[in-house]
Amino acid sequence: MTTASRRLLLVNGPNLNLLGTREPGIYGHVTLADVERIATEAAAERGFEIRAVQSNHEGVLLDAIHDARTDCAGIVINPGGLTHTSVVLRDALSGVALPVAEVHISNVYEREEFRHHSYVHDVALVHVIGEGAPGYSRAVSLLIDAITGAAEG
């Protein structure tokens, strides 16, 4: 595999820069740096690398997703609140035609009703919801399984 085919883009959306201090009863005390480390370690165990981006600005995330089509094999994304509001984020993920893993730290289906809908859900191949920060490791592993053909079924 080429270097590009051994790289994943890790996208963390708005407010995830506040991990560690934001609503610890929901998100715990893990930081964004912890999440990026967890994903990077999981990828490295499989011979992949991670390029991470976090932004509170939707356009920055869209640009990163568009750029990934030329040098990444897949995308792991926690869109944050954009999960429930952003058709353009969904369209960007669909448009780059890369396999996608959607991950959420909290179980969005056990929270407010408006969080129950995900615009990303139908374009994501992998869904890891409510497993806390370790869910990033599982999302990376499952996505790599799909990319390499190691997935069951």
Task: Convert the chain into a string of H (helix), E (strand) and C (coil).
Answer: CCCHHHEEEEEECCCHHHCCCCCHHHHCCCCHHHHHHHHHHHHHCCCCEEEEEECCCHHHHHHHHHHHHHHCCEEEEECHHHHHCCHHHHHHHHHHCCCEEEEECCCHHHCCHHHHCCCCHHHCCEEEECCCCHHHHHHHHHHHHHHHCCCCC
Residue 119 binned pLDDT confidence (cut-offs 50, 70, 90): confident
Range of the domain at 72: 4-148
**153 occurs within a structural domain:** no
Query: Active site residue: 57, 66, 104, 121, which one?
Result: 104
Mark whether 27 is an active-site residue: yes
**77 occurs within a structural domain:** yes
Mark whether 29 is an active-site residue: no
- Asked whether residue 67 is marked as a ligand-binding residue, the answer is no
pLDDT score for 70: 96
**42 occurs within a structural domain:** yes
Residue 22 binned pLDDT confidence (cut-offs 50, 70, 90): confident
pLDDT score for 5: 81
Q: What is the CATH number of the domain that holds 77?
A: 3.40.50.9100
Number of domains in the chain: 1
- Asked whether residue 91 is marked as a ligand-binding residue, the answer is yes
**43 occurs within a structural domain:** yes
- Asked whether residue 78 is marked as a ligand-binding residue, the answer is yes
**104 occurs within a structural domain:** yes
